[in-house]
């Protein structure tokens, strides 16, 4: 979700006004995904690198995260949304951590849309924590590193129990992954738009989906194989993989 600051600057407003409007775009995008029967939406809200921003902006972003959780979880629950947060949440203050855990528990039984917020998240962090968890689960891997397979990591990266992402959307004109879901995006279709995040609308979402629908997903195969009906990702996601 990029472009909040530039959206505000264009209007001679403080950057924070852009972040606030960005929350409105989150609300309308979540509703649009529910209406379109999309099963998973993952939003990059705050990266491991965003701590480098001016302290005042970081503190306002934390306050905003807290306010949104306090205000919106009821509405999300009514819409059948299951909320999850991925990232190193231990860096947040106790109040925010508790709020995150309570919001996840409250909505855990919902099945219409899994909304995952990546907060203090980084793709490098994700892979490192997967290695730590794989070794904690199977300590002999530390003695026999040659036995570590992709499947071990696939089971422990975040979103291991979710389908591999179909579509990645980056707003705000940059064409970068910026340390988002590095492992999980291996075969995801990438879509970039100049629209600033606060202006991202259901119509913009439909444009991205229409672009996705034009793509041929081969997962390493040839066009001829795909036409003959051989489909599906190259390997199953972690939850379904036997090690």
User: What DSSP string runs through 142-194?
Assistant: HH-GGG--HHHHHHHSTTTTSPPPSEEEE-SS----TTSSTTTTTTPEEEE--
Interactions with ligand IPE, residue window 44-63 (CB under 6 A): 46, 50, 61
- Rule CB under 5 A: say whether 2 interacts with Mg ion: yes
**Active-site annotation holds for 93:** no
Region from 3-11, 65-73, 148-156, 234-242 binding ligand IPE, contact rule CB under 6 A: 3-11
- By CB under 6 A, tell whether 189 contacts ligand IPE: no
Catalytic annotation present for 50: yes
Residue in 229, 93, 63, 86 with CA at minimum distance from that of residue 157: 86
Q: Tell me which residue has its CB nearest to Mg ion.
A: 2
Q: Specify the stretch interacting with ligand IPE by CB under 6 A; choose among 1-9, 123-131, 159-167, 232-240.
A: 1-9
Q: Which of 3, 87, 122, 165 binds ligand IPE (CB under 6 A)?
A: 3
Q: How far apart are CA 114 and CA 99, in angstroms?
A: 18
Cα(217)–Cα(181) distance, integer angstroms = 19
Contact between 2 and ligand IPE by CB under 6 A: the answer reads yes
Site for ligand IPE contains 4 (CB under 6 A):
yes
Query: What's the min distance (Å) between Cβ of 71 and Mg ion?
Result: 24
Residue 33 to residues 5, 115, 198, 203: CA-CA distances in angstroms?
25, 10, 17, 12
Unique residue bearing structure tokens 């389908």: 163
Choices 2-10, 72-80, 88-96, 119-127 (CB under 5 A): range interacting with Mg ion: 2-10
- Distance between CA atoms of 104 and 188, rounded to whole angstroms? 26
Rounded to the nearest whole angstrom, what is the least distance from the CB of residue 66 to ligand IPE in the complex?
Answer: 14
Residue 5 found at the interface with ligand IPE (CB under 6 A): yes
Minimum Å gap between C-beta 193 and ligand IPE is 13
Closest CA to 153 of 125, 185, 130, 129: 130
Tokens representing 64 are 């905003």
Note the residues at the interface with Mg ion (CB under 5 A). Answer: 2
Note the residues at the interface with ligand IPE (CB under 6 A). Answer: 1-6, 46, 50, 61, 172, 197
């Amino acid at each position: 979700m990029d472009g909040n600051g530039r959206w505000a600057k264009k209007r001679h407003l403080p950057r924070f006004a852009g972040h606030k409007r960005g929350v409105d775009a989150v609300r309308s995008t979540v509703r649009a995904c529910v209406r379109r029967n999309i099963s998973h939406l993952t939003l990059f809200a705050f990266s491991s690198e965003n701590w480098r921003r001016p302290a005042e902006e970081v503190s306002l972003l934390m306050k905003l995260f807290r306010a949104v959780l306090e205000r919106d979880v009821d509405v999300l629950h009514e819409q059948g949304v299951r909320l999850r947060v991925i990232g190193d949440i231990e860096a947040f203050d106790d109040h925010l951590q508790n709020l995150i855990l309570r919001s996840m528990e409250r909505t855990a039984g919902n099945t219409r849309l899994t909304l995952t917020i990546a907060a203090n998240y980084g793709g490098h962090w994700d892979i490192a924590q997967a290695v730590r968890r794989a070794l904690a689960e199977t300590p002999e891997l530390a003695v026999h590193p040659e036995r570590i397979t992709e499947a071990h990591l696939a089971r422990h990266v975040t979103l291991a129990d979710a389908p591999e992402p179909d579509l990645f959307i980056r707003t705000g004109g940059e064409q970068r992954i910026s340390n988002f879901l590095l492992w999980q995006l291996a075969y995801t279709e990438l879509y970039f738009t100049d629209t600033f995040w606060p202006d991202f609308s259901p119509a913009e979402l439909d444009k991205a989906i229409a672009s996705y629908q034009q793509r041929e997903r081969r997962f390493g195969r040839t066009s001829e194989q795909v036409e003959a009906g051989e489909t599906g990702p190259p390997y199953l996601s972690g939850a379904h993989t036997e090690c």
